[in-house]
């Protein structure tokens, strides 16, 4: 009774007790790779999904414009669909971009958002998360970008160390997946040095494309061993609209996969956790969702 009387007095004086703060809304990103082809309508359907997720940061996971990442491919195929989100897009390179003069059309199209044309990798902060965009085209142009002593790997180690005290959670994205059950390309062993740097720094999530399907892996180490405490959770999201590649036999630690559905991955990044949801195009029913805390 005494407590109720005190509350009533506070309300009467316009001094209502403070409520505890609600949960942070988080930053939203939407991601997919293997996107635009003038011979497919899949990118038009996935673009509708992105349009409906207002304000999200858009991550393209490489092979943005088929067949060759040429200026006309971006102009005729990418621009009418995913091009409408250009101002909020943070892209990375796929192998098809390098079909055109060292990916020159890609860098011309995205400009400063694509990073240094001599590198193709960069980083930024999004809310409480540190985001690292990597160039997984390791041997293009005679440069080894992914080896343990490469400039990119050394940069990545320094970048992660510099942010270790400031940021709670880390997400990286690269075109080629370290692990994949797909039969077209499968996993890419040359990604292991980059994964080792991310793993040692305690990164939470890696996004990739290249295989034209969707697959979610349980947290694992760079050699593919399950590691629920420190492992990296990988999402393969090559579902941007170009085509579908089959998955026949899931490999170790594969938790969910689908090889028939175009769609995008929506991630909500909270200060100490994240949520994921695979959003399928209209008419499809497959989805995947969940949440996890940062390390």
**Helices assigned H by DSSP within the chain:** 2-12, 42-52, 71-73, 104-110, 151-162, 192-200
**Per-residue confidence (pLDDT) for residue 21, from 0 to 100:** 32
Q: Is 205 helix (H, G, I), strand (E, B) or coil?
A: strand
With a CB cutoff of 8 Å and minimum separation 6, the contacts of 133 are: 59, 90, 91, 92, 115, 121, 122, 123, 124, 172, 173, 174
**Per-residue confidence (pLDDT) for residue 240, from 0 to 100:** 98
Given the structure tokens 């085509």, which residue do they identify?
Answer: 243
The count of residues in the chain is 295
**Per-residue confidence (pLDDT) for residue 165, from 0 to 100:** 64
**Per-residue confidence (pLDDT) for residue 136, from 0 to 100:** 95
With a CB cutoff of 8 Å and minimum separation 6, the contacts of 291 are: 273, 274, 275, 276
Give the closest residue to 51 by CA, choosing from 279, 261, 286, 284.
Answer: 279
**Per-residue confidence (pLDDT) for residue 167, from 0 to 100:** 58
DSSP annotation of 230 reads T
Stated pTM of the model: 0.90
Residue ranges in the chain modelled with pLDDT below 50: 1-24
Map out the domains of the chain with their CATH numbers: 23-293 (3.60.21.10)
Taking a C-beta distance cutoff of 8 angstroms, is the pair 33, 175 a contact?
A: yes
**Per-residue confidence (pLDDT) for residue 11, from 0 to 100:** 39
**Per-residue confidence (pLDDT) for residue 164, from 0 to 100:** 77
Distances (CA, A) of 285 to 46, 148, 237, 258, 275: 14, 42, 16, 11, 19
DSSP state letters, 18-48 = PPPPPPP--EEEEEE-S-B-TT-SHHHHHHH
**Per-residue confidence (pLDDT) for residue 10, from 0 to 100:** 38
Taking a C-beta distance cutoff of 8 angstroms, is the pair 190, 138 a contact?
A: yes
Q: Are strands 273-280 and 263-269 parallel, antiparallel or unpaired?
A: antiparallel
């Amino acid at each position: 009774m005494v407590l109720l009387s005190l509350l009533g007095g506070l309300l009467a004086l316009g001094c209502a007790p403070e409520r505890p703060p609600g949960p942070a809304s988080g930053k939203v990103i939407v991601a997919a790779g293997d996107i635009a082809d003038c011979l497919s309508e899949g990118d038009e359907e996935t673009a509708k999904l992105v349009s409906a997720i207002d304000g999200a940061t858009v991550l393209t996971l490489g092979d943005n414009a088929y067949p060759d990442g040429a200026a006309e491919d971006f102009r005729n195929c990418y621009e009418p669909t995913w091009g409408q989100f250009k101002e909020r897009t943070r892209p990375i390179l796929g192998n098809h971009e390098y079909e055109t003069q060292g990916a020159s059309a890609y860098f011309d199209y995205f400009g400063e958002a694509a990073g240094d044309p001599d590198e193709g990798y960069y980083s930024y902060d999004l809310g409480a998360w540190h985001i690292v965009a990597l160039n997984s085209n390791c041997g293009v142009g005679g440069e080894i970008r992914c080896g343990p002593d490469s400039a990119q790997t050394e940069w990545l180690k320094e970048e992660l160390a510099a942010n270790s005290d400031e940021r709670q959670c880390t997400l990286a994205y690269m075109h080629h997946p370290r692990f994949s059950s797909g039969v077209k390309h499968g996993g890419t062993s040359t990604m292991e040095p980059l994964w080792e740097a991310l793993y040692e720094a305690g990164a939470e999530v890696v996004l990739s494309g290249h295989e034209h399907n969707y697959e979610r892996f349980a947290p694992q180490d760079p050699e593919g061993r399950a590691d629920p405490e420190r492992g990296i959770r990988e999402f393969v999201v090559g579902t941007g609209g170009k085509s579908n590649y089959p998955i026949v036999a899931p490999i170790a630690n594969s938790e969910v996969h689908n090889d028939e559905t175009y769609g995008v991955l929506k991630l909500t990044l909270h200060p100490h956790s994240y949520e994921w949801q695979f959003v399928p195009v209209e008419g499809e029913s497959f989805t995947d969702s969940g949440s996890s805390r940062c390390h």
